[in-house]
Structure 1
Amino acid sequence: MSQINTVRGPIDSAELGRTYMHEHVFVLTPDVQQNYPDEWGSEDERVADAVTKLRALAGQGVRTIVDPTVVGLGRYIPRIQRVAEQLPELNIVAATGLYTYDDVPFFFHYRGPALDAIVGAEVPDPMVDMFVKDIEVGIADTGVRAGLLKCAIDHQGLTPGVERVMRAVAKAHRRTGVPITVHTHPGSEAGLHVRRVMCDEEGVRPDRIVLGHSGDSTDVEHLTSLAEAGFVLGMDRFGINLETTFEARADTLVEMCRRGFAGQMVLSQDASCYIDWIDPNLMAALPQWHYLHIENDVLPYVRERGVTEKMITEMLVEVPRRYFENVDTY
């Protein structure tokens, strides 16, 4: 058993229980929210709404959510602390890292490796120390320590900025041992870039990495190859059915279970209490995109098609526990 950092403090891995491995509380654009606060409205009402929605999730037996909201997604831990304090029945694991599909933020343009050519020597990346501080000391002055690392690669591919963040996350992992989740784009086989950079070149074990959004793909041969390489597959966007269907997502999960990979998959919905990236009118086109969809709709569907209770427990309890427990020593 291992100690895992949550927003309310460390817990033993045995206390994780049923875990959704990719759920946000808030996804925001801070510059917009700070300058146009009418869009956000009442802070107290937003927090109360989050507590109500997450309490309903806990009422379904979910004990832990992993919230991979990092810089680039509007992470603000004091707000998450207010939510967590009112939900003793639910653990929230916070993340550190940086979310970009292409370039790094301007803050990093003339810091770290960006200066190598100017000074004629290798300059350490300040991101690494920033991420390590979040894990070992705490995020800002909140006292909340991050429990995992997060980066992203989408259809734009392995741009210099994406690669820089990916390597910084890998280095922070090697210093701290906390696991990694990567937003990926399986349609362009982005997981192969993760394998080369993070595993082959930076030395991260594949079983310490969740390849997020693997369930966006129905290419079970590609998913099988990633599972056989040792990665954990994030089947974690149930309810987002604009470019696919409920059945396509669920049938892919069924097939991967049939192939024997229940022990290498985790489930989630990538939902949030509020996300300002999407016009509220568009949310009406996503009626299943909420915290309760897996229990209400996905699990009954896959049970009818041969996914056993043992497999469900593996994906929701055993795989998350192993993911956090298998701490490496480098």
Structure 2
Amino acid sequence: MSPAVRTVLGDVPAAELGAVDAHDHLFLRSPALPGEELDDPRAAEAELTAFREAGGGTVVQWTPRGMGRRLADAAAVSRATGVHVVAATGLHQALHYQPALLERDMDRLAELFVADLTTAPVRAGLVKVAGGFHGLDAHARHTMAAAAEAHRATGAPVAVHLELGTAALDVLELLCGGLGMPPASVVLGHLGRSPDVRVQLEAARAGAYLAFDGPSRRHHATDWRLFDQLAALVEAGHAGRILIGGDTTTAGARREGPGMRFLLRGLRPRLEREFGAEVGRAVFVENPGRAFGWVQGPLAPGE
């Protein structure tokens, strides 16, 4: 039986996701990014339409609680375009929130995450948390403990923002070693921003999924390293652990492009020329279905 992925319009068999942008944002706001909000449903719909026309089937939005997820709008643009959207619950680094919000919610994070995943009017399909630069502070440890508890209650995957691509092994030590999560339910994001192939290989051997960012002006310095990193993983037999997403986080980045569609019109053809069509299908179609599938299967409404 194919695992199910929870989208904003309901559960979808992993085999029906189509080509996937494994890490992106249709909607996002943060006090750390003033004036750069992604908050226009028409722009989000246009982005999804372009992605669908390029052959895309699903976008995984990593925007967590309190950062402008606009879940009702995410559901509306998914319905309008026919592109599946997977939303996130969870919490980012503390700098993205007003202190009052954190003080109000920190003691009941796991409860809030589970509610977002199982009983909210528009439900999340993953838990997003964040590490720090080369380490995990108290906020990261607290939110990751809540994420692991939500995973145990639901089977939902946990996706982790790695600050500048660092602390991947610290995250796995905490989530999998200390908190008992299966590595296959952990997605590590932004690994390409710290292109340490040895760390990437160790994370892949542990069984986690590795999410690399697609091209953008903000992170262009990582673009030229991408294929060397992918080559090391493919040659070591870890093609089944690779995910790729665009990770557009600001209005400026959306205007500048190249946008979600470039993943399928630019990156996927290059990847298939380099490594073969089988690897291209694994990265964009098969791996996301496993990475974002719920290990205990879909829950009934209200369960």
Q: Secondary structure at the match of 1:83?
A: helix
Contact 1:185 1:191 in 2 (8 A): no
Cα distance in 2 between the residues matched to 1:58 and 1:247? 26
2:139 aligned to which of 149, 161, 173: 161
Aligned twin of 2:194: 217
Cα distance, 1:102 vs structure 2: 6.1
Q: Structure 2: which amino acid aligns with 1:56?
A: A
Q: Structure 2: which amino acid aligns with 1:81?
A: A
Cα distance in 2 between the residues matched to 1:40 and 1:233? 27
Q: Give the alignment of 1:44-59 within 5 angstroms.
A: 46-59=40-53
Q: Which has the larger radius of gyration?
A: 1
Instruction: Give the TM-score normalised by the residue count of structure 2.
Output: 0.86
Q: Give the alignment of 1:299-314 within 5 angstroms.
A: 299-304=268-273, 306-314=274-282
Aligned twin of 1:182: 160
1:146 aligned to which of 97, 103, 124: 124
Q: Secondary structure at the match of 1:26?
A: coil
Aligned twin of 1:68: 62
Contact 2:246 2:259 in 1 (8 A): yes
Cα distance in 1 between the residues matched to 2:240 and 2:141? 29
Cα distance, 1:323 vs structure 2: 2.1
Cα distance, 1:228 vs structure 2: 0.6
Does the alignment pair 1:93 with 2:86? yes
Q: Structure 2: which amino acid aligns with 1:23?
A: D
Contact 1:251 1:302 in 2 (8 A): no
Cα distance in 2 between the residues matched to 1:222 and 1:32? 30
Cα distance in 2 between the residues matched to 1:147 and 1:221? 30
Q: Which stretch has the larger CA shift, 151-160 or 227-236?
A: 151-160
Q: Structure 1: which amino acid aligns with 2:262?
A: H
**Cα-to-partner distance string for 1:156-189 (whole Å, 9 max, x where unaligned):** 631111111111111111111111100113653x
Cα distance in 2 between the residues matched to 1:30 and 1:79? 21
Cα distance in 2 between the residues matched to 1:301 and 1:197? 36
Q: Secondary structure at the match of 1:63?
A: strand
Cα distance in 2 between the residues matched to 1:80 and 1:243? 28
The answer for unaligned runs of 5 or more in structure 2 is 298-303
Cα distance in 2 between the residues matched to 1:302 and 1:2? 26
Contact 1:153 1:182 in 2 (8 A): yes
Aligned twin of 1:127: 109
Aligned twin of 2:4: 3
Aligned twin of 1:296: 265
Cα distance, 1:307 vs structure 2: 0.9
Q: Which stretch has the larger CA shift, 48-57 or 168-177?
A: 48-57
Aligned twin of 1:248: 225
Q: Return closer, same or farther for 1:93/1:245 CA change in 2, 3 Å cut-off.
A: closer
Q: Secondary structure at the match of 1:168?
A: helix
**Cα-to-partner distance string for 1:284-309 (whole Å, 9 max, x where unaligned):** 9x9554212222322333334x3111
What's the RMSD between the two structures over aligned residues?
2.9
Cα distance in 1 between the residues matched to 2:262 and 2:111? 38
Q: Return closer, same or farther for 1:233/1:111 CA change in 2, 3 Å cut-off.
A: closer
**Cα-to-partner distance string for 1:64-96 (whole Å, 9 max, x where unaligned):** 1111111243222122223223112x1001111
2:213 aligned to which of 228, 236, 239: 236
Aligned twin of 1:170: 148
Aligned length: 295
Contact 1:5 1:145 in 2 (8 A): yes
Cα distance, 1:127 vs structure 2: 0.6
Cα distance in 2 between the residues matched to 1:259 and 1:82? 42
**Cα-to-partner distance string for 1:100-154 (whole Å, 9 max, x where unaligned):** 1569743343766xxxxxxxxxxxx30110000111101xxxx111111110113
Q: Return closer, same or farther for 1:326/1:51 CA change in 2, 3 Å cut-off.
A: closer
Cα distance, 1:216 vs structure 2: 1.9
Q: Secondary structure at the match of 2:86?
A: strand
Cα distance in 1 between the residues matched to 2:191 and 2:135? 16
Instruction: Give the TM-score normalised by the residue count of structure 1.
Output: 0.80
Contact 1:238 1:249 in 2 (8 A): no
